[in-house]
Amino acid sequence: MIRAAAPHLSRPCLLLLALLLGPAPTLAAQPAEPPPADPARPVPRLAPAPPGAMNHLPYDPDPSPAVAPPRPAWQRRDRVAYAFDKPSLQIITPAPDLSKLCRQGRFNQRIDMAYRAFGPGERPLGVAYGFMAVNLIDPLNRRQTDTVYFFRDHNGGRCQVFTARLDDLKPWFVGP
């Protein structure tokens, strides 16, 4: 049909034109009807559930207290670095200049709560080390190698930084 309409075009041009135009429209486009059901082929159906099967979960939501909880995955480790036996503010000291830099985003933890410390009944504090800048972002190079930095409210405008000497914290260190 295209060849009759444009006899001067070459064969590759005709193929390209046919691809661009698509199939020729039909005069009476009928909506597609589903094929009639074949009475010889039965319609597949699910088997009925046994009585009471829908009332149970695939696990026990309230396990017996005698059963030990499952161990956490090896990728997730509790990294509690320090557990204080008295309130943490009796051991660590506030650092207002570093707190200001923390609020400005210039002295922060690399990963929030990657290492944690806490006192009795307190919220955990994030921990970063000055030696080799472990978990510490410090573009101004304000860190000291013998100091441990503690962060409270790290991701907000109320960030507080506390410091303590590494040697003073040895009694509260929780090893791996």
Q: What is the pLDDT of residue 144?
A: 92
Q: Is residue 134 part of a domain?
A: yes
Series of mean pLDDT values for 10-residue runs along the chain (176 residues): 58 69 59 67 66 60 60 63 91 94 90 87 90 86 92 87 94 84
Alpha-carbon span 25 to 33, nearest angstrom = 19
Measured in degrees and rounded to the nearest 5, phi and psi for residue 99 equal -65, -40
Two tokens at 21? Answer: 């135009």
Q: What is the pLDDT of residue 46?
A: 62
Q: Is residue 65 part of a domain?
A: no
Q: Measuring CA to CA, which residue among 87, 81, 169, 163 is closest to residue 121?
A: 87
Alpha-carbon span 170 to 82, nearest angstrom = 9
Q: Is residue 72 part of a domain?
A: no
CB 112 within 8 A of CB 124: no
Q: What is the pLDDT of residue 132?
A: 81
Two tokens at 22? Answer: 């698509």
Supply the pTM of this predicted model: 0.56
Q: Is residue 22 part of a domain?
A: no
Q: What is the pLDDT of residue 23?
A: 64
- Who's near 16: CB < 8 A, 6+ residues apart? none
- Specify the length of the chain in residues: 176
CB 114 within 8 A of CB 134: no
CB 159 within 8 A of CB 102: yes
- Who's near 96: CB < 8 A, 6+ residues apart? none
Q: Is residue 39 part of a domain?
A: no
Q: Is residue 141 part of a domain?
A: yes
Q: Is residue 93 part of a domain?
A: yes
Q: Is residue 151 part of a domain?
A: yes
Specify the residue for token string 């990728």: 75
The range of the structural domain enclosing residue 100 comes to: 80-172
Q: What is the pLDDT of residue 76?
A: 55
Q: How many domains does the chain have?
A: 1
